[in-house]
Amino acid sequence: MRYGPILGAGALFSLACSWAALVMAPQLQLGALAPAPIPNSSDVHPALRPGLAAQGAEVYRSLGCYQCHTRQVRQKRLLFGARLNAVGSNANTVSLELPGSGKTNLVNLDLLIALAKARPDLGIAKVTVPPPLLADTNVVAALGQFTANLALLQHADDKAGIVRPTSGPTVNDVAGRRPAEILVKVGPEAAERAVKLLTDSGAKAELVIYNLGPDIERGWGARRSVARDFVNDTPVLLGSLRVGPDLASLGTRAPEKFAAPWKFAGTNTAAELEHRLLIHLYNPRLLAKDSTCPSATYLFDKQKPEVRYAGEPLVVSKELPPVFPKHNARALVAYLLTQRNDVSLPEAPTPAVAAAPAGSNAPAKP
């Protein structure tokens, strides 16, 4: 090769390819991402951080906490389920107790068929009607419909090669428990179909989601972190190494899910968590003997400072004199407390509020 310019042009072309794919394309895809409204409230997620927490973000960056802590919860898969909440009623609902007995035993016959369709692994027990009820024309009509549906179901079962067990739990048992988990950890299509079958039969059913994976099991977050969680951050400190636990949802972490588990003593849990985090900053080894989290004693004053609004002294432990958290310590804790990912997003739902599954819900594949 003799010509430098050709060489240079080729190199720049190669670079332009990777630049277009890995810098331009993500910017086009994610650049316009905006906070999402939180259902049933006027708030959005992620919310703008209040001033103190925004200052805390700077302390977090400045002290390099991101060198040891990630803020990215991972999740293996997103699976779905169907839950039966109420039997409901319709024309084919009959009461199996005699009128005047004071008891009611409503059976939604359509629901039994729907359940049987959703759960081919369960048998169907006979519905026995006390003879006096057979005089009721409504009951007779409903039973007739039920028998016809059963025959259709039997036919469909035979066609699909489904053999229902004759012993063990039946759909009748399942319909008797509420709430009942009809399907657990299945794909979105199966769960959606089951929910539709159940609601069509007049019952109240909902779609349940299951976020799975070690991070979720550890209690580090309700769902995986997604790009939208960070639209208000600058700089975005995702972290790439977990010497310490993930902090993406530290603000909502249950006490027993900390690396050094603890318990709330009273009812003012917010104040307790804040106190706990201040002590952690002052010296993590007071809370977990083996912790390698660096202590930030320089964020605390030994003597009561002269400034007004110095704040309450922090009682570190019984043996040690109290210390006075500086402004930066309070800011950092305020920032840590804003870390949360329990808000359901269309692209990353949380179990509490299940959105309808859509194609975009597939979690990041490993």
Partner 1 sequence: MTTAQPSSQTACAAAPSVAEVEASCRLPVLFLAFSGAAWLCAGAVLALLASIQLYQPTFMEGCPWVTYGRLRPAAVNALAYGFALQTSFALALWLIARLGRVELAAPLGLTIAAKFWNIAVTVGVFGILAGDATGFDLLEFPLYAALPIFASYACLAAWALVTLHQRTERELYVSLWFVVAALLWFPWILSTAQGLLLGWQVPGVVQAIVAGWFGNNLLQIVLTSFALAVLFYFVPKTVNRPLANPGLARAGFWLLLLLGGWGGLAQLAAVPAWIPAVSGAANVLVIVPVLALLVSLWQTADGKIAEAWKDNATFRFLLVAAILLLGVTLRTAVFGGHWTQFTFFATARTDIVLLGVFGLAALGALHHIVPRLTTGDDELPSSGLADVAFWAALLGVLFVGIGFSLAGFAQAGVNADAGKAFLKDGVVGIAGQLKLVTVGYGALALAALAFLANFGLAVRRCCAACCGGAR
The answer to whether the CB of 207 falls within 8 A of the CB of 81 is yes
Nearest CB to partner 1, comparing residues 8 and 37? 8
* Tokens linked to 108: 């939604």
CA distance 117 to 104: 26
Of 69-88, which residues contact partner 1 (CB under 8 A)? 70-74
From partner 1, ligand HEC, none, interface partner of 98 (C-beta below 5 to 8 A by class) = none
**Sheet with 78-86: strands ordered across:** 180-186, 78-86, 204-211
From partner 1, ligand HEC, none, interface partner of 18 (C-beta below 5 to 8 A by class) = partner 1
Residues 6+ apart with CB under 8 A from 235: 61
Of 137-196, which residues contact partner 1 (CB under 8 A)? none
Of 226-245, which residues contact ligand HEC (CB under 6 A)? 243-245
Site for partner 1 (CB under 8 A): which residue of 56, 202, 244, 325? 244
134 touches partner 1 (CB under 8 A): no
Nearest CB to ligand HEC, comparing residues 139 and 216? 216
CA distance 303 to 34: 45
The answer to whether the CB of 109 falls within 8 A of the CB of 94 is yes
From partner 1, ligand HEC, none, interface partner of 208 (C-beta below 5 to 8 A by class) = none
363 touches ligand HEC (CB under 6 A): no
Nearest CB to partner 1, comparing residues 202 and 245? 245
From ligand HEC, partner 1, none, interface partner of 280 (C-beta below 5 to 8 A by class) = ligand HEC
CA distance 268 to 158: 60
The amino acid occupying position 145 is Q
Q: Select the span of 2-10, 89-97, 99-107, 283-291 touching ligand HEC (CB under 6 A).
A: 283-291
From partner 1, ligand HEC, none, interface partner of 273 (C-beta below 5 to 8 A by class) = none
Residue 87, exposed/middle/buried by CB under 10 A (0-12, 13-18, 19+)?
A: buried
User: Residue 6: CA atoms inside 13 Å, Cβ hemisphere, count?
Assistant: 3
Nearest CB to ligand HEC, comparing residues 138 and 292? 292
Place of tokens 């390099």: 64
Site for ligand HEC (CB under 6 A): which residue of 332, 337, 343, 354? 332
Of 65-124, which residues contact ligand HEC (CB under 6 A)? 65, 67-69
Nearest CB to partner 1, comparing residues 154 and 291? 291
Residues 6+ apart with CB under 8 A from 6: none
- Give Cα 148 to chain centroid, integer Å: 42
From ligand HEC, partner 1, none, interface partner of 83 (C-beta below 5 to 8 A by class) = none
Strand positions, DSSP E, 126-237: 180-186, 204-211
Is residue 46 reached through a cis peptide bond, with omega within 30 degrees of 0 on the bond before it?
yes
From ligand HEC, partner 1, none, interface partner of 277 (C-beta below 5 to 8 A by class) = ligand HEC
330 touches ligand HEC (CB under 6 A): no
Residues 6+ apart with CB under 8 A from 240: 70
CA distance 39 to 343: 9
Site for partner 1 (CB under 8 A): which residue of 30, 98, 141, 307? 30
Of 248-267, which residues contact ligand HEC (CB under 6 A)? 250, 253, 258-260
Residues near ligand HEC (CB under 6 A): 63-65, 67-69, 243-245, 250, 253, 258-260, 277, 280, 284, 288, 291-294, 296, 332, 336
